[in-house]
Chains A and B, each alone.
Chain A
Amino acid sequence: AQSVAQPEDQVNVAEGNPLTVKCTYSVSGNPYLFWYVQYPNRGLQFLLKYITGDNLVKGSYGFEAEFNKSQTSFHLKKPSALVSDSALYFCAVRDYRDYKLSFGAGTTVTVRA
């Protein structure tokens, strides 16, 4: 079985400050990890993914995520948050042998001006 935990329902940061959205996962085999963002009344937009290789993955809109195998984590980060980053963020995991993508419950990010 595979699962994802996003321990924070909400994250609030001031514009210009660093943003971190936490994600931990559980999977029996090698994990493939994804981050998506959902703006109000929109579909999920792909941000970045980790498949193999460098543990630091860079994605769209200045976001990056660090894969940590020992801590089974894949936290999303942005050095300087923008008000426009306010949205719902989902972490997802898939076992390398499977097609099913398991999503976390989501974290609502609010960036205040």
Chain B
Amino acid sequence: DAGVIQSPRHEVTEMGQEVTLRCKPISGHNSLFWYRQTMMRGLELLIYFNNNVPIDDSGMPEDRFSAKMPNASFSTLKIQPSEPRDSAVYFCASSLALSGASTDTQYFGPGTRLTVL
């Protein structure tokens, strides 16, 4: 099992540029989560997809952030335009949610470290 795959692992960009982070969940998993980790705020849930449909995007900080899941094996998180305060580690996680049960375990990818200059 390859686990959750994220790319790129590191991204350095300048303020105002568009940034796209990518995630491939574990095959067969039907739930996908995007998190942001910072020293100040810890781990924050940004958005949750179930069966490719966004269920909860209340954690998305502002309109500059958007996420898509066009199919079961791919998701993107886009920031446009990026700002220095977006600098963080962004994690993608997936799980197998059976009939809405919440006993499932979320498995995390290695993360993308984003630096906005």
Contact = CB atoms under 8 A, between A and B. Distances in A.
A51 interface: yes
Contacts of B108: 36, 43-46
A53 B110 CA distance: 32
A100 B105 contact: no
A99 B48 contact: yes
A106 B31 CA distance: 24
B97 interface: yes
Contact of A105 (B42, B55, B100, B107): B42
Interface size class of B (residues with CB under 8 A): 20 to 34
Interface string A21-60: 0000000000010101000011111100101000000000
A100 B55 CA distance: 11
A86 B91 CA distance: 21
A49 B111 contact: no
Contacts of B6: 43
Interface in A47-97: 49, 51, 90, 94-97
Contacts of B31: 99
Q: Main SS of the interface on chain B?
A: strand
Q: Main SS of the interface on chain A?
A: loop
Interface string B83-114: 00000000101000100101101111111010
B42 A103 contact: yes
Given A43-B109, A44-B91, A45-B108, A51 B103 contact: yes
Interface string B44-65: 0100101000011000000000
B43 interface: yes
Interface of A: 32, 34, 36, 41-46, 49, 51, 90, 94-101, 103-106
Interface of B: 4, 6, 31, 33, 42-43, 45, 48, 50, 55-56, 91, 93, 97, 100, 102-103, 105-111, 113
Instruction: Please give me the 9 A-B residue pairs with the lowest Cβ-Cβ distance, nearest first.
Output: A43-B108, A44-B108, A103-B43, A43-B110, A51-B103, A105-B42, A43-B111, A43-B109, A46-B105
11 contacts: A32-B103, A34-B105, A43-B110, A44-B91, A46-B105, A46-B106, A90-B43, A99-B56, A99-B97, A100-B56, A101-B106
